[in-house]
Structure 1
Amino acid sequence: MKRLLLSCLAFLSMGVYAQTNVANYTFSKSSGMTYTSITGGTKLFPTGTNTTYDNEVSAAIPLSSPFTFGGVAMTTCYVSANGFIAFGAAPSGTNYTPMSSLGSTTGAISAFGQDGGFSSSDATQPIGNHEVRYEDLGTEFVVQWQDHANYSNRSTERLNFQIRLVYATGEIKIIYGNCTDPGTSTSNSTPHVGIRGNSTTYASNVNSLMIGNVPSGTTCDWSKAVTGSANNSTMLFSSTTNASVKIPAGLQYTWVPGTQAPVRTFAAATAITNNAATVNWTAPTGATAYNVQYRAVGSCDWTNLVGNPVSAATATITGLTQNTTYQVQVQALNGAVQSVYSHIPNAAGTGSGYASTGSFTTTPNCVSTVTGLSSSSLTPESATISWTASTTPPGNGYEYYYSTSSTTPISTVTPSGSVGAGVLTADLSGLTPSTQYYYWVRGNCNGTDKGVWSSSANFTTLGLCPTVTAPASSATGVSVTPTITWNAINGATGYKLKVGTTSGGNDILDMDIAGGTNSSYTLAAPLNFATTYYYSVTAYTANITGPATACTVRSFQTVCNSVNLPYTLDFESVTTPALPMCTTVINSGSGNLWKTATAPTGFTGKVLNYSYNSSNAANTWFFTQGLNLTAGVSYRIKYKYANATGTTQYPEKVKVAYGSSATSAAMTNTLADHANITGGTATNTFVDFTPNATGVYYFGFQAYSLADMNQIYVDDINIDVTPTCSEPSAVAVSAITTNGASISWTAPATAPGSGYEYYYSTNSTAPTASTTALGNSTTTSAPLSGLSPSTTYYVWVRSVCSSSDKSVWSIVATFNTLCGIVMAPFTQNFDSGAAPNCWNNVNPTATGTDANLFWKFSGNGDYGASPANNGKAAGTYAWVDASSPYAGAGTNTVQLVTPSVNLTGLTAPLVSFDWFKNHSMSTGTTVSPSSYDNNKLTVEVNDGNGWVVIFSDNTNLNQWRTVAVPLAASYIGATIQVRFTVDKNVNGNGYFYDDLLLDNVEVKQNPNLATSETVAKDHKINVYPNPFTETLTISDVSKVQSVSIVDVSGRLIKTIEKPSSELQLRDLKEGLYLVVLNMKDGSKQTVKAIKR
């Protein structure tokens, strides 16, 4: 036992040690290798019948031989659709960073580790050619990603690559086939490539690669990748960043198990001169010598140090170029054993030098340091830069470099320009407006030797959108001949001025104003009063016609003039809570202000609204536009008003007055004082008045309620000359039948001499003065006949004072004719998003009006009945929301009842419907994971003799189910209603996860009545009683071979061979069943029986 324990401990110790030294693997790159696709083996993704994949991870895949990884024999692996494989455990499907994210895995090999997906570039390859598969070749285990892509670039990228594990040697090969250029999206564009052990410790257990846009615009592709500097080092693959950093076909990366640890720690470079530098590092365990390589930043290839290998942990590199930035890398040796090359250290030795700053920069021959950078004379496309002369003036002047990037240029970059000796300024041209530029300056000693670049400075070119000073944005009361002013832009040659009646429009003015110093323009032609206009000012230069992004469009309102009558204000033109143009609001107290709001019941569209202030009383005035009135003329103001509905009433107060200005002090002529407004019913009223003087008058509505009351609504303000013929009021409808009704109204104060006319329609559009009346009456009532059942009607009445003098039409009255009996076949698909006409949505036991105690017709189900599961758009089915209340009164009787349907003409009536119920606590497809009870749907039929259950079910399925229930022969020719009842609390354990949906209700002829069933009626065998409770009796069992009991969904419940005359059926649930008598002569007789 002791020997076995020691062996186990030795094995475990070896495994832990080996797996923490994956960094010791050696690495090599090869180009031009043959890429051999695999077509056998097993396809992993897409799975099943799917055509796409995303974030999939395979189950454990057995290896035909143990594969040694990090010293441990691996017998299985896991494949991620995100471009890598893992050992030990399945990685997360959303692991896009396998080198730095461990999870439960004990190792990973990544060829393109990022958020991967299928390529959908169908124009260049057959649809569905994308896949991930593996094949065990006996000597190698191969995983292949075919037509793969960065998920964010799957419409353009097609990548092909393999991970190959060589059983005999433990070699790991990543080989790339044909790969498109990178896509344009920068999301997920930096994949992980490399190997990682059972931790993410960079020093010992990560062996990864990196390449990027270093320096900017590099032409180095993936064949020039270098060793990663951290566990999160990445490879660039984005054409937006740099399309040259791509994957050449036939590129192969190879890792081979090794024992020499790499160099991981550096010190700062020392002894840096204009042609040499010394690099220093910490010797890793076991290293006896080192190879050193170096390159100038921007070069893709490395130069070997003369004198390689060196024995000490330091090396002096000579023969370098002055003022040049270099990168270095070091490889540790132990005899013939080699490590992977190190990462590139930075100048301090503490971080990554894979950047434009590199590992060190040689000193310049040209000792010229430039300071004091500044900019001036900015225009949209030019600038002047200047600097302070170097202490040692360079003989050949200065060079400058500018860019929209803040990255410091390297010494070998081509300058943007130069100036001669003694010149300390430079003019930059051809710039882009509204753009920030960075610039640097260096000395040019002799044409060959250059100084170091200075620190950067920056400037932003002027834009082509001037600062507009008048009119202010959204200004009101602007003159009809406005002057538009702006701040002139230095360098502009002119301005484009546009004025229109729509945003961005130019139907009023589209003018070029030459001269860059111009800063104003006055419109010559007057604009309209009380109108909104839109305008913009854009500068241009000799070379640029305008900005890349259009200048801001502003608006203003011209001054409001007084207007003649009639004046109508219905608030429909506003965007709530804004006020109509030319109206004003003031607050004479500390309460709230009038605003506009969506209309409540009894109003249409939008209304004027005052909403209570909890602490302060109302004292706010709303004023109309100024109106031109004449002394001695009688005028009429009409409007409607209301409070809000509610069990408890909070009275509101409104005063209506007029005066000579839109101020509270001027409102000296009170027209009405509504001091106790309660209830949510809109009241229509009018007041006649006569001004004493001719002039401009404003009409005010003052809310002056106490604090913490409710709502005030005002709408349909109309001011006009008092009509000589007044309209009737209070139009009412009574005695409504399926095809008729009676209307009545209240006569005006002065009854019309020639009676009344009325007009009705199924259209809510009000009649006009020229509309022909449909009837007349000399009294204050009239009958309507010839109407259609189940129809909404609108009716208006007007007074007839004489043949040439008729009033305006009254306020509309609305009514619905009663529902008539409809003839079968009958169908309802609930596609209107509202309750169908003549259906009853009731709950006989509810004591409240909560919407969740009634059927709904808009919106959609949730959780297991979400649109993603049920597949139908919101508002195309009826449904019961399982949400609260799911206990208490009404939760057992959520009922929906059809209109009355006459079955005359149906010889085999059938009720059918679709329903959906998928009890789930999530929006996934899981059925019935909840510990709460299932809701139940019960369907009943009533022909006047009481409700009979024909269907009842509480089961779940993640799809719509169609139920067809044949009705008993006793219903033929009858008139029926069908009732759908949902019980939300079957056993006192209801909850809100179980929404129930209903669609496509039909009452029609049964299309499936078999011929044999009709012929079999000649047997004249009776089955009774019907309905039954426990026992059914067959009148003549001698002719019956067997009996089949089938439920309404067609499911066989039981078969009784050689039955007796009495069938014991007490075990059946309540409902409708088909009792099929299988006769000895081969015919059948089907009887519909109801179990009580």
Structure 2
Amino acid sequence: MSKHYLFWMILLLPFMKLDAQTYCTPTTGTATTYYLKNAIFSDQGAFYYDASSYQAYVNNSASQIVTSYPGGTVKVHLEFVGSGAKSLVWVDWNSNGDFNDFYENPIGTSSFSTVDDQFFVPPSQTPGIYRIRVQSGTGLSTTSNPCGPNPNGNGNFVDFSLQIVATPTCFVPSTLTSSSITNNSATISWDAPTTAPNDGYEYYYSANNTPPDNTTTALGTSTTTSAPLSGLSSFTTYYYYVRSVCGTSAKSAWSLRGAFKTKCDPMTAMFQDFETATAGITNADCWDRIILGSGYQTINASAGVNNSKGMYQSANGAANTAIAVLPFFSNVSAGTHWLRLKAKVSSTAGVLDIGYVTNDTDAASFVNIQSINISNTVYDGFEYSVVIPTTVPANARLAIRHGGVPAVNIYWDNVYWEAKPTCLAPTNVILSNMTSATVDAAWTAPASAPGMGYDIYYSTNSTPPTSSSVPNLTGITANPYTIQGLSSATTYYIWVRSRCTATDQSAWTNVASALTLCAPVTTLSENFDSYGTAAFTSLPCWGRVQAGLGGTNTNGNGSMSGTRHVSQRSITTGDYTIAVLPEFSNVNVGGYSLSFNAYCAVSTGKLDVGYLTNPADAATFITLEQLNITNTSYTPATGTSLYSVAVPNTVPAGARLAIRNTFALSGNAFYYWDNISWAPTVVLGVSDISAKQDIVIYPNPFTDTITISGDVQLQSVVVYDLSGKMIKEFKGSEKTISLHSLTSGVYMVKLNMKNGSSKTVKAVKK
């Protein structure tokens, strides 16, 4: 409230009627939102208002009364439903039935959905009872009408009463606080009023939030401004009040209430998954938190395991940290237990400090036991545990700290305080030296080495093993150990556990994963449909070397067949991009060709087909043939978009075939290619050469049937696989042939004509 009102309040002359006054019933609108949820008004007496649902107008003037005196100060706390809610507070100082006179809007339009403000009672105000009206909604302004309707058709009105009494001789204490809270005790404190009472104070407390009145019997007295409370119930919210005692019959009203919650009774074990905690509440039952600066901690509805509730912490720098304080454990210093939890990060790796606090309100009392590094972005397969030593003070509480370095978001869930196992798991599994069939696994042994070595479990599925899962390898004593017999170009997920005895094994470690290398192949048929739209380097067994802008990628815009094909582009001077094919063990035997369908966005395109002796070094590229890509679309009907390069036996063993696009050769144009194959070169006989050149097969690739074009008399059609084995033969002149029974792959289709000529065409079944 602006201070310049005080001068006018002093001059304000009361014009009041002590008889009952009639007030307008305000109107709002049809929207049941942005209403007053809680209100507290206090001075020399207080009222507490709570609403559980929306009502357009609530008249509480008969039951909710705050007491003050001429020249007094009424403190106001308001909370509203709806983050955009605003409010106005009206007082009918002259009791004329409206709120339109001077200073009858002592608290103007608020800016927030929680209001903590105050207004002054005019020094010349006549004792009596006056109407208070609280108006809430959106779009409120200083010209808003206390009778409504509300702007935007939402919000509500609530009426209360203000009782002005003669200036008291015994004033109310203020600023109630609580400290030294345990599971059964606490200390309450307060500030003395400006005029201290002669005979000290009385206090009252209860687990019920109903405030005391002047007939309520006090539960204790104090000659100082504090008092100890004992015999309390654990994990219970208590409300407490204090009043001044100025003489035998002179006592103030009860103060505005204070509140505290006792701690939980000590635990010996715990499991917390936060499912029963309310999302958005920063503390679960029996937990506390300590926040420094802009550190943040909350229970998030989707931050936990299986996207359920879990704890979310964020912090940016050591001055902005978040500490979750666990319940009190009576066996925290026994040395027999550990803390176990699941944790993950969004992307960048983060660190959680596992330690304890000796003061659950003071971040400076945190002592770190162990920091855990978290790089996994999923919960599945990852769990972290810390053995708690006997050096932890018996009265300390364990705590989990996000120290702000690095500044990342961290999520954790499924927290256990439990007896540590007799067989401890190894940690820090590291995989290295991948080949197409093997990988080396190494790990850090636990403090007590297992008597029977280690078990290893691996799978192409990321589902973590359980205690009943059968290991692939057992009793392993070598560390590192080479896992053999793996499939090439395959991602393996690997876990290790200690085998202390035949019946006592540890938990499995966090998962580690490795992609085995590609094994050389002898054939290839690839239409790229099994890959998403991504950089070419994401394709197993393929590679990419490039410089500058542009690139080689898979995408789904206008593929030759299916859903994906490859695009290549170099944008400016000096750019190049090279698509590196999988390794072929027969690249240097001769008699094989690399074939693919391609087109260019312009009719003057050129691509180099060749090989790299070092698949990571563009300087080792050797051109076998430069292709003129003159077609500007795929042409399955005519076959003119099909290009084939015979690869000679002079190519070095181990070299990788490659397709190169350079700005110097190709300019800033898009190139597309699809349905690439590595297969034996089709050798044409004399009769093949004499066949008509306009004979083609379409569609190609095909799904079920093929059609043979051209004006030709067929004798027969023979289908071979790439090894030269005859698969099917069709005799007669029928030009539409069903190949439904064939599996997907590359085939050679030989067309035998009645005039003795023939032609062999490669066909791809999707």
TM-score by length of 1: 0.36
Structure label with greater radius of gyration: 1
**Relative contact order, higher structure (CA 8 A, sep 6+):** 2
